[in-house]
Amino acid sequence: MAALRNLAINTLRDAGHSDIAAGLRHTSYEPFTRPLDLLRIA
């Protein structure tokens, strides 16, 4: 679980979010598209 948490935090930092809580809120506004864009999957 810690590895997944660190992956999420590092991915948000790589995407330019300095505030992790704000980055999570921004990503969760559109839960079916933004996480995939953040991971460059879709």
pLDDT one-digit tens code per residue, 15-40: 899 999 998 888 888 767 777 777 77
Residue 42 binned pLDDT confidence (cut-offs 50, 70, 90): low
Give the pTM: 0.66
Give me the helix-helix angle, 20-28 and 2-14, nearest 10°. Answer: 90
Cβ burial of 29 (10 Å; 0-12, 13-18, 19+) is exposed
Q: What is the pLDDT of residue 21?
A: 93
The DSSP call for residue 18 is S
